[in-house]
Amino acid sequence: MSVVEDAFSQAVALYHLGRYDEALAGFGRAVALDPGFAAAHNNHGVTLEKLGRVDEALASYERATALKPDYVDAHSNRGALLYKLGRIGEALASFDQVIALTPQAASAHNNRGSALKKLGRLHEALESYDRAIALDPDYVEAHSNRAITLDNLGRLDDALASFARAIVLDPGFATAYYNRGVILEKACRLNDALENYERAIALRPDYVDAHNNRGALLYRLGRIDEALASFDQVIALNPRSASAHNNRAGALKRLGRLHEALASYERAIALDPGYVDAHSNLVFTMMFACDDDEAILHACEKFSAQHETPLLAQPVPPYANDRSGTRRLRIGYVSPDFCHHCQSLFMMPLLSHHDHQRFEIFCYASVSRPDDMTRQLMPKADVWRDVCNLDDAQLAQQIRDDRIDVLVDLTMHMAHGRPLLFARRAAPVQVAWLAYPGTTGSRAIGYRLTDPWLDPPDVPHADERYSERSIRLPDAFWCYAPLVHGIDVNALPALANGYVTFGCLNNPAKVTEQTIQLWSRVLHALPTSRFILLAMPGEARAMLRERFAAQGIDPARVSFVSFQPRENYLRTCWQIDMALDTVPYNGHTTSLDSFWMGVPVVTRSGRSAVSRGGLSLLANLHMLELAADNDEDYVKIAVQLASDLPRLSAMRAGLRARMEQSPLMDGARFAQHIEQAYQQMWREWCAQQEQNQNQNQNQE
């Protein structure tokens, strides 16, 4: 054996022993002794890559292929490294070179497919995976990659079949179980998806993504305690996983542990300052825990400064919109919730009553799972665009191309919103409405809709609590449609039960300590009364019982219902005599549902807009006697009404008719008011443009 071969062989042995620094030195000696030794250059590159010295590794692979143009391993290694570096086009060229040299190499076709998939050339990628499998029918990785590509093409059943084949070939292939779980979840086969995530974890207990997806699916299934345990496991495996801290916060919020949730969101943001969803979730959660509009505004402005600033720094192309004052305006609504979501209770009456002669209505729907409600809403728009697969930049361009005059955000900082879309300033006038009557903090949204009860006009400096200009609709922020018929109001339950049943079906995250204290005072004053709450089984209910017990209330007096289909949820109101509102974040949709079912709601208003939602609803029903602005009156109103069953019974019998006759269900009236607001905004923008134009001319 020559000196060069001896140095090379020793280096190979050292590499296989994991002694990479020594191996690197050995391959270096071989190269020094014989600069034309292509294999030494290739293995030198492999070792450099192992040590993280990728630029030097790439140079070694390229030296090897220059010395030996038909060196398949060096071309393959070069392609794999270029793929890791994100230089996909160059990687593809290397894989093509391997195939030219060895057309029967299944691995080269598989690698080529992965590069094509990364480039978005999915059909070509599928052909490459099929070729790899034709050459090697037992090629597990190719079956798995083929399945992922089929999933990307929307062929879910074919993708599942490919994963099934991969698992037959390798029953211990944890990644295949994980990816099959992802597809099953898309297909809404949730229990099957959960089984696959758990199988992946059983095979690989440190499989972080599988634990995370398992937690997210358990959360979706309402199994919050188990979801939280999964997220905790992810954090134990990877304490720096920002997504796990964000997901953990969501579970804590659902359990009503708001301050812990806020801390977890803050941890996620500290780990990843660019994490838009976590920051947005933090802002929204603050509204449940805080009755301070100034603090919320500060948090929203911090979000804007962190995430919107780069987008706002970009120049805005001139708008092509016709500024004629009397022409038909184009209104665009942006939402992920044009489906069976509480938002539809408010969009249906508005979309049903828009004046289409004067307004052209566009809906930009980012709906991941369209349903029959989506199909009911679609005909109400002049133009319906499914934009689920468009990113913010693409959607902004579509909105510009549509020449939208007034663009309305319906989601703000709630789940699945597009908080940075509006920073791209796709429309001349941008408005926040519906998700909640607070602020977005966005410097790109010029207006917010509100009403005189949420934001009394006579309060000094009140509008300074919002980054947007407040436009007060004359009556109410909301217009409601129950969207379920045939569920009548029943007789007052207390007449048959012999005791009053209070209830609250609000989001459990709204049940703050102040709320529990107020409710407990009411229950103490009426020792035979009962309470029904919405909460998932497990820790959420146990914790609520403990919080009542800490206030001296027997937990046996408190019962629970879970999240239910809308019809069953409304029928729960048949068990409730009177609803007690939450503080500081009042019920909005749930209060309207209660009124529709004949259940009066006693509310406690505060300083923030979200804490005055109950006041706004009661004002529009001419029932301000049920609204308190302090704790003492809240308790007094509830106790007095519960002690007067004839009054409570009469109120129940007349509430639905009162709702139907109020502005809260007058869709035509509401649409007219909101259209007037849009026209006002448009006129102001046009006037500002004219003023700017005149100033520019004067300067010239």
Query: pLDDT tens digits, residue range 86-116?
Result: 999 999 999 999 999 999 999 999 999 999 9
442-449: long-range contacts (C-beta < 8 A, 24 or more apart)? 442/300, 442/304, 442/308, 442/467, 442/468, 443/304, 443/308, 443/312, 443/467, 444/308, 444/311, 444/312, 445/409, 446/681, 446/685, 447/471, 447/677, 447/681, 449/473, 449/477, 449/674, 449/677
Backbone φ, ψ for residue 560 (5° rounding): -135, 150
Task: Give the orientation angle of helix 258-271 with respect to helix 242-254, to 10 degrees.
Answer: 170
Query: pLDDT tens digits, residue range 433-490?
Result: 999 999 999 999 999 999 999 999 988 888 999 999 999 999 999 999 999 989 999 9
Q: Is the distance from CB of 288 to CB of 256 less than 8 angstroms?
A: no
CB neighbour list of residue 443: distance below 8 Å, 6 or more residues apart: 304, 308, 312, 423, 467
Q: Specify the domain boundaries for CATH 3.40.50.11380 within the chain.
A: 329-472
Give, rounded to a whole angstrom, the gap between the first and last alpha carbons of the chain: 86
Tell me, what's the pLDDT at 459? Answer: 87
Q: Is the distance from CB of 470 to CB of 463 less than 8 angstroms?
A: yes
Q: What is the mean pLDDT of residues 200-220?
A: 96
Structure-token match 């140079």, residue found: 59
Backbone φ, ψ for residue 33 (5° rounding): -70, -35
Q: Specify the domain boundaries for CATH 3.40.50.2000 within the chain.
A: 493-665
Tell me, what's the pLDDT at 276? Answer: 95
Tell me, what's the pLDDT at 699? Answer: 66
Q: Is the distance from CB of 665 to CB of 353 less than 8 angstroms?
A: no
Q: What is the average pLDDT value for the chain, to the nearest integer?
A: 94
Is residue 330's pLDDT more than 70?
yes
Does domain 329-472 correspond to CATH entry 3.40.50.720? no
What are 606's two structure tokens? 């505060």
Tell me, what's the pLDDT at 392? Answer: 96
Q: What is the DSSP letter of 382?
A: S
- Fold annotation for 493-665: Rossmann fold (3.40.50)
Distance (Å, rounded) from C-alpha 577 to C-alpha 280?
37
Distance (Å, rounded) from C-alpha 146 to C-alpha 136?
13
Q: What is the DSSP letter of 436?
A: -
Query: pLDDT tens digits, residue range 171-186?
Result: 999 999 999 999 999 8
- Find, among 237, 424, 389, the residue nearest to 314 by Cα: 424
Rounded (to 5) percent helix, strand, coil in the chain:
60, 10, 30
Query: pLDDT tens digits, residue range 27-54?
Result: 888 888 888 888 888 899 898 988 999 8
pTM for this entry: 0.87
Q: What is the mean pLDDT of residues 75-80?
A: 91
Calculated CA dihedral for residues 661, 662, 665, 666, nearest 10 degrees: 80
Distance (Å, rounded) from C-alpha 415 to C-alpha 241?
20
Q: Is the distance from CB of 109 to CB of 129 less than 8 angstroms?
A: yes
Q: What is the mean pLDDT of residues 535-553?
A: 94
Tell me, what's the pLDDT at 405? Answer: 98
Q: Is the distance from CB of 26 to CB of 57 less than 8 angstroms?
A: no
The answer for 403, left when phi > 0, alpha when psi is -120 to 50, beta otherwise, is left
Grade residue 1 by pLDDT with cuts at 50, 70 and 90: low
C-alpha distances in Å from residue 420, one per residue of 80, 305, 309, 316, 681: 35, 12, 10, 15, 21
Q: What is the mean pLDDT of residues 133-155?
A: 93
Q: What is the DSSP letter of 689?
A: H
Distance (Å, rounded) from C-alpha 467 to C-alpha 473?
18
Q: What is the mean pLDDT of residues 592-611?
A: 96
CB neighbour list of residue 87: distance below 8 Å, 6 or more residues apart: none
Q: Is the distance from CB of 57 to CB of 46 less than 8 angstroms?
A: yes
Is residue 525's pLDDT more than 90?
yes
Tell me, what's the pLDDT at 700? Answer: 59
Backbone φ, ψ for residue 325 (5° rounding): -75, -20
Query: pLDDT tens digits, residue range 641-699?
Result: 999 999 999 999 999 999 999 999 999 999 999 999 999 999 999 999 888 777 776 66
Distance (Å, rounded) from C-alpha 208 to C-alpha 197?
11
Tell me, what's the pLDDT at 596? Answer: 98
